[in-house]
Amino acid sequence: MTRYERLAQIMATEIRSGNVAAGSRMPSLRQIIAQHGVSQSTAARAYYLLEQWGLVRAAERSGYFVAPRPVNGKATQAVTADEDEATTVDISELVFSVLDAAKQPGIVPLGSAFPSPTFFPLSRLAKSLGHAARSVSPWSTVVDLPPGNENLRRQIALRYMRIGISQPADEIVVTNGALEALNLCLMAVTQPGDVVAVESPGFYAALQAVERLGLRAVEIPVDPQTGLDLDVLANTLRKHPVRACWFMTNFHNPTGVTLSDAKKKALVDLLAQHDVPLIEDDVYGELHFSPDYPKPAMAFDRHGLVMHCSSFSKTLAPGYRVGWVSAGRFAERVQRLKLMTTLSASIPAQAGIADYLEHGAYERHLKKMRLALRDQRDALCAAIRRWLPAGTQWTIPDGGYFLWLRFDKAIDAMELHRRAIGRGISVAPGPIFSATSAFEHCIRLNFGHPWSPRIDAAIRTLGEILSETVKGA
Ligand SMILES: Cc1ncc(COP(=O)(O)O)c(C=O)c1O
C-alpha cells in the first residue's frame, strides 16, 4: 500500500467510526502534513481518494468536509512495482473517477481523449450510411459476421497498400472500435496470470484490460523524446515469461512520441527472438503532420507476430464504433473470440463507412484535419509558453492531438486536476497512465478542439492554479 493510501485508510476509519460528524471540517492539508509527516502530494492524494470513496467533499478554497452520507466505496488496491517487476493492476477506480469528473457539461475538455466532433464530415457520412442502409442485403447479417463486411476490409487493405504494406483482406477482423480489437488480441494470446508488457506512461485501457483479464503487467518506460526503452524491454524479456506486448508506436498516448523506423524494426526483431506477439495500437497514425504516415511496426514484421489495431474513431466517425485488427497468424483466433464475445460489429455502420471510404473524400478530409490539428498544437504550445510556469517541460508531437506536460516536483497532478475541475476545466492527470504511483507531476492536454479564446483562458486559469498550488505548498 502506498503512503497516501495508508493515510486515506487511517482517515477513512476515523470517519466511518462516526468520531467525526458529517459536515464537519477536515484538517487542512498543512495540518495533515504536520501531523503525519507526509508531503503535500501525499496529503492531497489521500484527500482525493477519500473524495472518491464518498467520505469527504471538497469546497473550493475552503478545504474538505465530511460527506453527509458516507458511501462504502471500494478501496483501490495498493500496487507498487519496480521498473521491471510484474504486478497485478488495479487502476480502474482512479480512471473512472477522473473520466466521470470530465463528463460535466460545459467543461473545457483539455483532458478529453476525443477530438472535436466538428472535425468529422458527419452529413457526408450520414449520406453513405443512408445509402448503405437502403442497399444492404438482408443476408448481410450473416454474410458480414466476423471477419466482417468484405467491402470495408478491402477498403482497409487498400489503405495499408498506400503505406506500402501488402495486407490480405482476409486477415483483417472488423471490431467495435480499436479498443475491442486490442482486448481480443490480448485474450487471444494470454491466460490469466500471464505477464504482459505495457508502456509507462501508457494508455489506461491497456492497464484496465490487464486488470480485467487477471494478467500481470510489467511497465516499460516511454521517454517523451525517444519513446519506448528497448534496453529495459530486452532485459524484461530475459527475466520474465512475457506473453505479449501492448505498445503504441505512432503518436503515443499520452506522450505523443513516435518511434523511429530503426526503433520499430529493432522492436519487432527483439520480439521475434523471444517469439512474443506485439499488439500494436495505432489509432492516431493517420493524424500525421509531416507528409507521410509513419510506418507502423507491422511493416517490419516477417513472422506474423504483430497484431495491428486501429479504427475510424479518431479520424472519421467516433460514434460508429468501427475498428479493426490486422491479426497476422492470430487472425483466426481473434475472429473466433469476436464471435464468442460480441458476435459482430454493427452491419450498417460497417457498410456506411465502406461506402464513405469508396466514394467520400476521406483523404481530403484527413488532410484538412491534420492541418487544423497542427495549427491547434502550435496555438496550445504558444499558450503554454505564455501562461504556464517557466519550468514546465513538454515535447512537441508531430501528429495526434495530445501534449504531455511535466511540472516542477511541487505540483501534484491530482490536486491540479481537482482544482481545474472546480473551475470548469478537465485535464488528464499523470497517475491514470500508470499502475504505479508515477507521473504525479505530469498531465496530458488535448489540442483536438478548434482554438478559441475560451481554451486560451482555460490555459491561463491552469497557470493561475499552478502558481496558487506552488505558493500553498
Ligand atoms: C491509444 C488509444 N487506443 C485505443 C483507443 C480506443 O479506440 P476506439 O475508440 O476506436 O475503440 C483510444 C481511445 O481513446 C486510445 O487513445
**Interatomic CA distance for residues 320 and 341, integer angstroms:** 18
Digit-coded pLDDT (tens) for 220-264 = 999 999 999 999 999 999 999 999 999 999 999 999 999 999 999
Q: What's the chain's average pLDDT?
A: 89
pLDDT confidence of residue 55? 81
In the CATH hierarchy, which fold is given to the domain comprising 92-117+364-472? Aspartate Aminotransferase, domain 1 (3.90.1150)
Residue nearest to atom 6 of ligand 1 (CA): 179
Digit-coded pLDDT (tens) for 320-379 = 999 999 998 999 999 999 999 998 899 999 999 999 999 988 999 999 999 999 999 999
pLDDT confidence of residue 435? 82
Q: How far is the CA of 281 from the centre of ligand 1 (A)?
A: 8
Inform me whether the pLDDT recorded for 381 exceeds 60: yes
Q: How far is the CA of 179 from the centre of ligand 1 (A)?
A: 6
**Strands, sheet with 442-446, edge to edge from the N-terminal-most edge strand:** 393-394, 402-406, 442-446, 428-429
Domains 3-66 and 92-117+364-472 agree in fold: no
Q: Please give the share of the chain, as a percent, with pLDDT higher than 70.
A: 93
pLDDT confidence of residue 58? 81
Q: How far is the CA of 232 from the centre of ligand 1 (A)?
A: 26
pLDDT confidence of residue 88? 61
- Better-scored residue on pLDDT, 42 or 376: 376
Q: How far is the CA of 67 from the centre of ligand 1 (A)?
A: 35
β 322-326/242-247 pair status: unpaired
| Closest atom of ligand 1 to CA, residue 253 | 1
Q: Please give the share of the chain, as a percent, with pLDDT higher than 90.
A: 69
pLDDT confidence of residue 72? 30
| Closest atom of ligand 1 to CA, residue 248 | 1
- Better-scored residue on pLDDT, 12 or 452: 452
For the segment 147-162, the average pLDDT, to the nearest whole number, is 96
pLDDT confidence of residue 80? 30
Inform me whether the pLDDT recorded for 81 exceeds 50: no
For the segment 209-219, the average pLDDT, to the nearest whole number, is 91
Q: What is this structure's pTM?
A: 0.82
**Interatomic CA distance for residues 271 and 234, integer angstroms:** 9
pLDDT confidence of residue 416? 94
pLDDT confidence of residue 92? 65
- Better-scored residue on pLDDT, 455 or 89: 455
Residue nearest to atom 14 of ligand 1 (CA): 113
Residues 412, 397: contact at Cβ < 8 Å? no
| Closest atom of ligand 1 to CA, residue 252 | 1
- Better-scored residue on pLDDT, 38 or 19: 38
Q: How far is the CA of 60 from the centre of ligand 1 (A)?
A: 33
Cα–Cα–Cα angle for 408, 413, 415, nearest 5°? 115
- Residue corresponding to grid cell 488495479: 90
For the segment 175-197, the average pLDDT, to the nearest whole number, is 96
Q: Which residues sit with their C-beta closer than 6 Å to ligand 1?
A: 113, 177-179, 203, 248, 253, 281, 283, 311, 313, 323
The CATH class given to the 121-361 domain equals alpha beta
| Closest atom of ligand 1 to CA, residue 180 | 11
Inform me whether the pLDDT recorded for 71 exceeds 50: no
Residue ranges of the domains in the chain?
3-66, 92-117+364-472, 121-361
- Spell out the residues 6+ positions from residue 332 whose beta carbon is closer than 8 angstroms to its own: none
Residues 258, 293: contact at Cβ < 8 Å? no
Q: How far is the CA of 238 from the centre of ligand 1 (A)?
A: 30
Query: What three-state secondary structure class fits 8?
Result: helix
Task: Tell whether domain 3-66 is in CATH 1.10.10.10.
Answer: yes
Q: How far is the CA of 27 from the centre of ligand 1 (A)?
A: 40
pLDDT confidence of residue 457? 98
For the segment 307-328, the average pLDDT, to the nearest whole number, is 96
**Interatomic CA distance for residues 252 and 259, integer angstroms:** 9
For the segment 171-196, the average pLDDT, to the nearest whole number, is 96
pLDDT-derived band at 68, boundaries 50, 70, 90: low
pLDDT confidence of residue 317? 94
For the segment 280-303, the average pLDDT, to the nearest whole number, is 97
Inform me whether the pLDDT recorded for 1 exceeds 80: no
Residues 44, 8: contact at Cβ < 8 Å? no
